[in-house]
A and B are shown apart, each in its own frame.
Chain A
Amino acid sequence: MAATQFAYALFACALIACTPSRKNLGNTYRGVLASNLKSFDPAMAQDQYSNMCQFQIYETLLEYKYLARPYDVQPCLASAAPEISDSGKVYLIHMKKGVEFADDACFPGGRGRQVKASDFVYSIKRMCDVRTKTTGWWIFDGKVVGLDAFRKASESLPPFPEQWHPALYDEDVEGLRALDDSTVRIQLTKPYPYFKYILAMPYAAVVPHEAVEHYGEDFLSHPVGTGPYLLKEWRRGLRLVFDRNPKYHHGFYPREGTAEDSAQGLLVDSGRTLPFIDRIELDIFEEYQPMWLNFLRGNLDRSPIPKDNYGEAVMPDKSVRGDMAAKGIALFRQNELDVRYICFNFEDPVLGKQKALRQAMSLAYDAKQGMELFYNGRGVHANSPIPPGLFGYDSTWKNPYSHYDVDAAKSLLAKAGFPGGQGLPEFEYLTVAGSDTRQMGEFFAQCMARIGVRIKVAACTWPEFLERLKRKKVQIIAVAWGADYPDPENFLQLLYGPNESPGENNANYKNAEYDSLYRDMAVMQDGAERSAKIRRMQEILAEDCPWIYTLHRLNELLIYKWVLNHRSHGVLDAPIKYYRIDGALRRSLLPGAGG
């Protein structure tokens, strides 16, 4: 009974949360946040939801180009692309002059001051201070000269709330310096080719020390940045409202684009000052149904398509259905930079030792049907960890064990000494509890049953899952990885030996040749040589079979046509500063929409 009442209470909350008003829409974008937001602190920018919210407020030295594919970066707070030394290790970055922080009570007189190079240095140091408990230290770990020593030294500082700005911050870190008010010099330990992407990550955003000191522990809910929007209202678990930042003048709509972009009307606003939209309202929906119904009523401008509503929205030929199109809804499709996979733990005495068993299981997994069942076919068959859209992805290369072939699987299993699965123990497939994930597990078990391998599907909570990964107490797990930055290294590191649990190599896979190739390619500029090394790594992985590849997802979104300039981006979730609302179109399509 208690559970039922609890469910009702939740439902009631959801109803209150899910009634966005339609009165006086004005120049407002109404979006969705599919999960509760935890923090606005860039040091905690771990998930895509906080990334999306922070993108509206904070800025980094570099930012992703909105229209360019393959993905590339451009200056944001920087005035030009970094000057990189011949060794590839020293970055000299000049910053735009005259950019100011938003007006906020934390500044003297409430007026935001000019952004300086020292603000960037401060922001990185603060993030790397162990006391901020950042989830993003790994982006700089071992990469910047002297920064690791700084982090070590910060361990001896008194805990917060004492010393928000310790003397340690003013000491010089060799690899991270402000040469003058507008020049930053970064010295790397190795010539990481993807470091430019790191400078575009929300973790590397520039924050004013005044806000950190003024708000203390409450800084997470008082963002003060240089970006296009200000946080107006944050009702926890319900909604977020952003207003345009009147002091933001340094962003412009991209001028370059392909003929295709131009044909899609994406270059109409070329060169105009951003942003176009005055107000952003993000409603938080943790359940799909209320979000979906609100989208259909026109209360939201954009929505993902829930799996079980797919048939309502999309025709079998993958075009949007007629009644949807008549409402002014358009479908956007975008390759996600991710890979979903089923991972074997190499510390397991059976799974880790029997290569043929792993290969047989990989052959027995019907990835195509799984994609159909759980993703409505929205995906790309995966042959290696590297998703389409990244350097090193080769659509012509085929992994010999990633297709579905039960007969081949059976004979491999027999050759390995387990004909029909005889002599094998029952394996545990661990997943995070949820209806979908359980069904995926049952599907995996069904596939394995066809070759006689017995699988027990077990589910647990997310923290428990992480804990068991950390302690290597798993056999087979289902995991996904989304790109932090668009470089294949970000995916290949998932199987690098020294990254074993508690690191990201959850398979605890170790292969000396692979590891050495990884160390080479990680610090190599894109080119034929890097490409050859990546190819060899993919071949090693295919043969050793530490993972069964599920798919690379294809993201599909529905969006009302009155949102102009929309283009899906694999890294940026909703770069709203580029969007423009056609108010007249919205008024004509949405009866009752004022403003």
Chain B
Amino acid sequence: MTAWKASRPLRKLLRDKLAFAALAVILLYAATGLLALFHLAATHYRDSVGPAYSPPGADYLLGTDVLGRSVLERVVHGARIALVVGFVSTGIAIPIGILFGLLAGFYKKRVDDVIVWFYTTVDSIPYILLVLALALILGKGLISVCIAIGITSWVGACRVVRGEVIKQTELDYVQAARAMGAGDIRIMMRHILPNVLHMVLIQASLLFVEAVKIEVILSYLGVGVQGEPSWGVMIDDARIELIGRGAWWQFASATGAMFLLLLAFNVFNDALRDALDPKSAE
């Protein structure tokens, strides 16, 4: 049953050329990021490879920065950070969202009231400030950025899952399962969850994009990753050298890398949503 359900969206997705290209870009980033993660690429991002502020050219493909470090290596290292942040914070946020969403949607009444109150409260705090505060409490660094983003960005997923679960609990198959004597947990995990997973998938890919963006903003503000080049750190560096010296390459490389990844994700997300939406006919 699962096999049949998955194959139709997959076919639909693969037929979309643009989405396919976007997927290719994402995989390319993932591959680069993985290489950097296992120290197979961009291992010299700390070292001076040439004079300061060399423009892009044959020697330095994307130029060098203030300390003569290769911008290319730093961009690649930035891809690693982006991927780690994207995956880890999504991995934290989605399970929280699913858990609360399932509980609220399934039990309704008081449980729902409490959870809705809770996520409305979390949501009403300006997002960046909350993440900033958490990053300060947890101490700075890559891991705390991931945790901070993770535990503040589950609200969207929770809301969607809750709505969908409320809808599903009214359906016949849930009533049937209940009539057969299945317990709450079994109904939630075995019956309802598989039917809301496609929504979760879309939410996860949206969240990924959001997490990458937030990391860049945090690092730009100086509370993100420390002692490593993230795209946000590079944009912060570039901010001062851009106007004064006209050194545009670091700025262009970091924003370009970020733009391409986010664009690819957005295109892919759209296609994914179209493919998974049961209402869109073949």
Question: What residues of chain A have their CB less than 8 Å away from a CB belonging to chain B?
Answer: 1-3, 289, 306-312, 373, 433-436, 438-439, 441-443, 445-446, 449, 456-460
Cα A3 to Cα B243 in complex, Å, equals 22
Does B227 contact A457, Cβ atoms closer than 8 Å? yes
Does B237 contact A435, Cβ atoms closer than 8 Å? yes
**Known contacts A446-B46, A458-B226; is A312 also within 8 Å of B244 by CB?**
yes
24 contacts between A and B (CB under 8 A): A2-B127, A3-B128, A308-B240, A308-B241, A308-B243, A308-B244, A309-B244, A311-B244, A311-B245, A373-B67, A433-B222, A435-B222, A435-B239, A436-B240, A438-B222, A438-B236, A442-B227, A443-B67, A445-B46, A446-B46, A457-B226, A457-B227, A458-B140, A458-B226
Does A435 contact B244, Cβ atoms closer than 8 Å? no
Q: B48 — which chain A residues lie within 8 A by C-beta?
A: 446
Question: Smallest Cβ distance from B149 to chain A, in angstroms?
Answer: 14
Interface string of B135-177 (1 = CB under 8 A from A): 0000010000000000000000000000000000000000000
Cα A373 to Cα B67 in complex, Å, equals 8
Number of A-B contacts (CB under 8 A): 65
Cα A361 to Cα B144 in complex, Å, equals 31
Does B47 contact A434, Cβ atoms closer than 8 Å? no
Q: Which residue of A lies closest to B213 (CB)?
A: A1
B197 contacts partner chain A, Cβ-Cβ < 8 Å: no
Does B67 contact A435, Cβ atoms closer than 8 Å? no
From A311, A439, A449, B46 is in contact (CB under 8 Å) with: A449
From A2, A312, A373, A435, B240 is in contact (CB under 8 Å) with: A435
Question: Smallest Cβ distance from B78 to chain A, in angstroms?
Answer: 15
From B67, B217, B222, A442 is in contact (CB under 8 Å) with: B67
Question: Smallest Cβ distance from A354 to chain B, in angstroms?
Answer: 23
Interface hub of B47, B217, B226, B239 (most chain A Cβ within 10 A): B226
Cα A446 to Cα B227 in complex, Å, equals 11
Q: A439 — which chain B residues lie within 8 A by C-beta?
A: 66-67, 237
B129 contacts partner chain A, Cβ-Cβ < 8 Å: yes
Question: Smallest Cβ distance from A524 to chain B, in angstroms?
Answer: 44
Question: Smallest Cβ distance from B236 to chain A, in angstroms?
Answer: 5
**Known contacts A312-B244, A435-B237, A458-B140; is A3 also within 8 Å of B217 by CB?**
yes
Q: B237 — which chain A residues lie within 8 A by C-beta?
A: 435, 439
Does A445 contact B52, Cβ atoms closer than 8 Å? no
Question: Smallest Cβ distance from A36 to chain B, in angstroms?
Answer: 20
Interface string of B201-238 (1 = CB under 8 A from A): 00000000000000001000111001100000100110
Chain B count of residues within 8 A CB distance of the other chain: 26
Does A446 contact B128, Cβ atoms closer than 8 Å? no
Cα A459 to Cα B139 in complex, Å, equals 10
Cα A445 to Cα B69 in complex, Å, equals 13
Q: Which residue of B lies closest to A370 (CB)?
A: B67
B126 contacts partner chain A, Cβ-Cβ < 8 Å: yes
Cα A455 to Cα B240 in complex, Å, equals 25
**Known contacts A433-B222, A439-B67, A456-B226; is A2 also within 8 Å of B244 by CB?**
no
Q: Which residue of A lies closest to B247 (CB)?
A: A308
**Known contacts A433-B222, A459-B222; is A445 also within 8 Å of B240 by CB?**
no
Does B128 contact A307, Cβ atoms closer than 8 Å? no
Interface string of B53-81 (1 = CB under 8 A from A): 00000000000001100000000000000
Question: Smallest Cβ distance from B39 to chain A, in angstroms?
Answer: 15
From B67, B222, B226, B243, A289 is in contact (CB under 8 Å) with: B243
From B66, B217, B227, A373 is in contact (CB under 8 Å) with: B66
Does A307 contact B244, Cβ atoms closer than 8 Å? yes
Q: Which residue of A lies closest to B48 (CB)?
A: A446
From B126, B222, B233, B244, A434 is in contact (CB under 8 Å) with: B222
Q: A446 — which chain B residues lie within 8 A by C-beta?
A: 46-48, 67
Does B245 contact A308, Cβ atoms closer than 8 Å? yes
Does A3 contact B221, Cβ atoms closer than 8 Å? yes
Question: Smallest Cβ distance from B143 to chain A, in angstroms?
Answer: 14
With A308-B243, A446-B47 already in contact, 8 other A-B pairs whose C-beta atoms are closer than 8 Å: A2-B126, A308-B240, A311-B244, A433-B222, A435-B236, A442-B46, A446-B67, A458-B140
Question: Smallest Cβ distance from A526 to chain B, in angstroms?
Answer: 42
Question: Smallest Cβ distance from B112 to chain A, in angstroms?
Answer: 28
> In the complex, which residues 29-53 of chain B have their Cβ closer than 8 Å to any Cβ of chain A?
46-48, 52
Cα A312 to Cα B244 in complex, Å, equals 8
Does A306 contact B128, Cβ atoms closer than 8 Å? no
**Known contacts A373-B52, A446-B46; is A458 also within 8 Å of B66 by CB?**
no
Cα A373 to Cα B237 in complex, Å, equals 13
Cα A443 to Cα B68 in complex, Å, equals 10
Q: A460 — which chain B residues lie within 8 A by C-beta?
A: 140
Q: Which residue of B lies closest to A450 (CB)?
A: B47
Does A2 contact B140, Cβ atoms closer than 8 Å? no
Question: Smallest Cβ distance from B198 to chain A, in angstroms?
Answer: 27
Q: A289 — which chain B residues lie within 8 A by C-beta?
A: 243
Interface string of B98-133 (1 = CB under 8 A from A): 000000000000000000000000000011110000
Q: Which residue of B lies closest to A429 (CB)?
A: B227
Q: Which residue of B lies closest to A3 (CB)?
A: B128
